[in-house]
Amino acid sequence: MYKQIRVNSEAPRRFSGLCAISFVILLGAVSAVEAAEWRFEPELRLGADFDDNPYLSIRTDVAESETGYVAEGSAEVAYRSEKTDFDITPTLRTREYGSNADLNSDDQFLVMNFGHETVLTNFRIRGSYDRESVRTAERADADLEVEDPDDILDDDSGLVGTVGTRGRRERVRVTPSFRYRATTNSSVNLQVLHTDVRFDDDIGLFLTDYTDTRVNLSYRRAWSPRFTAVVTGTYRDYQTEQGSNEINGTGLAVGIDRELSETSRLRVTFGYEDTEVEGSGDNVEPVANVSYVRRQKTTTLLAQYRRSISASGAGALGVRDSLSLNFTRGLSDRISAGIGARAYTTNAIDETAGPLDEREYVQLRAQFTWHLSSTFSLQTDYRYTFLDREAQGESANSNQVTVWLNYRPTPMIRSR
């Protein structure tokens, strides 16, 4: 029996504070001179959820299936002008599973984007906050709504069910970036990716708090309207709550960004990262990123292979080889469907660096959406998840089905 998890009473106030700060940024970005457009778009979702192995237990012969209900509400506020754009989307989600209170959770999410562009510069800040159950937070999802392959995250630990089901994870991600257009064909880009993750104290034996900061400096040169070459240098700093070793890394990568047609784009990057673990020495690993995106009127295809040095709450950096595939298609004016796959393997950079759980993970997803009207839709999601952890020597799998009723009224738009 898992013991009671101590609730972090600061988390709701932190969520409210981040919302307030985001709105202050929004108001500060508003120009009284520029023509602009405001948009407010709320959404309410009610779902019934079934999972035949919600804990991803290796004892599939005795795993108990669970049925519950999910409610989710969100509201996007967006501002657009000639030079500035900003949007913020807070989301609240609650899960209720009746007899099994360990699966119940109240989750909060916040996504914020800000951008300002001039003739020679472009400044952007992207941020997100999420606080949710470890059971769902540490399980990678084949997200069919992701638009940019670089937005696919790789920081889950795969430690689902092992740490108890009532543990909570709180994560803040901030990504400021600045681009300076040096000439008509070239630009210099500076980007910082900072992640701060905290877990409830009582699951500290399995997962550890950590911060991961990566600084990327890149030079881009367009050799033609459709072909761009990129060189990127990287510095990384990874710190954990438990570990006493300091982990730093540097890297170099070269790549191309090729617009194959008006509807398709190919990105290819190859390089290396040198990770230095205090007391262990250097560990050099090759890294790569190959992605293809095609968007047409009724279909979208996204495919990516990525080899990266990924951070997680497992307490160490690891080498991750991942494959992602999304395909969505509008079958008619009212019906659309999508399939997705997410698969990866992880390996420790250095066995003495920390308790990294080497594993193989696969999730297959299918989605069917029927638009009942301009505001209501019915959506069915199916996920098959497979997880094989080397530390346990056994594998686990689950089948999850969620049926959603979505309400999205016509957005309120105001121009001036």
Give me the pLDDT at residue 88, please: 95
Give me the pLDDT at residue 216, please: 97
Mean pLDDT of 19-42: 70
Between 115-124, 209-218, 292-301, 391-400, the lowest mean confidence (pLDDT) is in: 391-400
Give me the pLDDT at residue 249, please: 93
- pLDDT over 90 at 109, yes or no: yes
Give me the pLDDT at residue 147, please: 84
3 domain-assigned: no
- The alpha helices in 227-267, defined as continuous H runs, are none
Mean pLDDT of 26-48: 79
358: CATH = 2.40.160
298 domain-assigned: yes
- pLDDT over 70 at 61, yes or no: no
> What is the count of structural domains for the chain?
1
Q: What is the pLDDT of residues 126-141, one digit of tens each?
A: 999 999 988 888 888 8
**Other Cβ atoms closer than 10 A to 353:** 22
Confidence (pTM): 0.87
Give me the pLDDT at residue 163, please: 46
Q: What is the pLDDT of residues 324-360, one digit of tens each?
A: 999 999 999 999 999 999 999 988 886 655 556 688 9
Q: What is the pLDDT of residues 302-332, one digit of tens each?
A: 999 999 999 888 778 889 999 999 999 999 9
pLDDT band at 6, cuts 50/70/90? Answer: very low
Is the separation of the CB atoms in 116 and 79 below 8 Å?
A: no
Phi, psi of 72 (to 5 degrees): -145, 135
- Long-range contacts made by residues 231-235, C-beta under 8 angstroms, separation at least 24? 232/269, 232/271, 234/273
Domain that holds residue 34: 10-415
pLDDT band at 7, cuts 50/70/90? Answer: very low
The pairing of beta strand 168-180 with beta strand 121-133: antiparallel
2 domain-assigned: no
Strands in 296-393 per DSSP E = 299-310, 318-330, 335-348, 359-371, 376-389
Is the separation of the CB atoms in 406 and 43 below 8 Å?
A: yes
Give me the pLDDT at residue 60, please: 65
Specify which residues 282 forms β-bridges with. Answer: 276
323 domain-assigned: yes
Phi, psi of 411 (to 5 degrees): -60, 145
Q: What is the pLDDT of residues 221-269, one digit of tens each?
A: 999 999 999 999 999 999 887 665 678 999 999 999 999 999 999 999 9
Mean pLDDT over the full length of the chain: 86
410 domain-assigned: yes
5 domain-assigned: no
- pLDDT over 50 at 214, yes or no: yes
116 domain-assigned: yes
208 domain-assigned: yes
Which percentage of the chain shows pLDDT scores above 90?
A: 60
Q: Which of 362, 353, 410, 369 is nearest to 387 (CA)?
A: 362
Angle subtended at Cα 131 by Cα 17 and Cα 150, rounded to the nearest 5 degrees:
100
CA distances from 241 to 6, 208, 277, 288 (A): 18, 6, 15, 29
- pLDDT over 80 at 160, yes or no: no
Between 97-106, 363-372, 378-387, 405-414, the lowest mean confidence (pLDDT) is in: 97-106
pLDDT band at 4, cuts 50/70/90? Answer: very low
Give me the pLDDT at residue 30, please: 60
pLDDT band at 142, cuts 50/70/90? Answer: confident
